[in-house]
Amino acid sequence: MIEIQNYWRELDELRRIAGAENESMLRAAFQNLLRDLGEQQQLIVVAEYPFKAPNGANLRADGVLLDRLRLVHGWWEAKDEKDDLEKEIAAKLAKGYPNDNIIFEDTRTAVLLQQGAEVMRCAVTDGKALKRLLDCFFNYELPAVQDFRIARSQFMVELPGVARALKELLVAAHRNHAAFQAQATQFFTLCQRAIGERVTNDHVDEMLIQHILTDQIFRAIFSDVNFHQENHLARAICELESTFFMAELVKNY
């Protein structure tokens, strides 16, 4: 595998030029290996990834693999060669680091944990074994990813009927709910300023329907969905959605 060969070359180069034997200097080689392999599956490596432990502690992973929806597909922790890798793994897990699809490595040995158990370890100099470990890592599907995939498939089956029902509810809300009418007018004006005067009320309704459909599936999967509320239009349509669901007509929808 060319990516592994590139990893070996980069690791040797870092050792030769930097004269380093510590995590902070050598970790870039494995990070770049994960980056190169991740790109083939449309995944990106994010270094120093902040997350919360089950006990609420703020922690930071050396790296994670994320997809375009910011779903985590795998974790990575780098350690020093001089460290006791077993003790370091135990210490990280005790702090609340994930134990599902995470690689611990110290530039000599790579250890893969899945579902709380070690599934494989190998010397990073063993190309065939390292490839098997990486294949296992990249092919594994975390429960959150699996849940999202299943929910998305079911959602696509139900989508046409749900969209029709929402359209009917919107027509009624425009007719009967004064607060929604005012909020919709305000959002329509904002859209015309931001997008252009060719935006129509029908466009606004379609935007709201698409937002509601997307929002509901994300809220069914994730505890934090703020990542799709990051600009003024997104925040405004969230406010419009909130007003829509306050209507008496849709209390039990």
Domain closes at, from 140, 172, 199? 140
Looking at the structure, tell me whether residues 155 and 233 fall in a common domain.
Answer: yes
Q: Reply yes or no on whether the pLDDT at 251 is more than 60.
A: no
Q: For the ranges 70-74, 176-180, 201-205, 244-248, which has the lowest average pLDDT?
A: 244-248
Q: Domain check: are 11 and 68 in the same one?
A: yes
- Nearest CA to 67 out of 37, 43, 47, 40 is that of 43
Shared domain for 99 and 120, answered yes or no, is: yes
Average pLDDT over residues 36-60: 94
151 and 119, same structural domain?
A: no
Instruction: Looking at the structure, tell me whether residues 33 and 79 fall in a common domain.
Output: yes
CATH number (domain holding residue 128): 3.90.1570
Q: CA-CA distance, 66 to 72, in Å (whole number)?
A: 5
Q: What is the pLDDT of residues 128-168, one digit of tens each?
A: 999 999 999 999 987 777 777 666 666 666 667 777 777 88
Is residue 193 located within the same domain as residue 111?
A: no
Are residue 155 and residue 110 in the same domain, yes or no?
no
Residue that is last in its domain, among 140, 167, 199 = 140
Domain boundary among 116, 140, 164: 140
Domain that holds residue 79: 2-140
Residue 245 has pLDDT above 50, yes or no: no
- Supply the mean pLDDT for the chain: 82
Domain count, the chain: 2
Is 67 in the same domain as 150? no
Reported pTM? 0.63
- Secondary structure string (H, E, C) spanning the chain: CHHHHHHHHHHHHHHHHHCCCCHHHHHHHHHHHHHHHHHCCCCEEEEEEEEECCCCCEEEEEEEEECCCCCEEEEEEECCCCCCHHHHHHHHHHHCCCCCCEEEECCCEEEEEECCEEEEEEECCCHHHHHHHHHHHHHCCCHHHHHHHHHHHHHHHHHHHHHHHHHHHHHHHHHHCHHHHHHHHHHHHHHHHHCCCCCCHHHHHHHHHHHHHHHHHHHHHCCCCHHHCCCHHHHHHHHHHHHHHHCHHHCCC
Give the model confidence (pLDDT) of 97-108 as tens digits: 999 999 999 999
Same domain, 43 and 122: yes
Q: How confident is the model at residue 218 (pLDDT cuts 50, 70, 90)?
A: low
51 and 107 inside one domain: yes
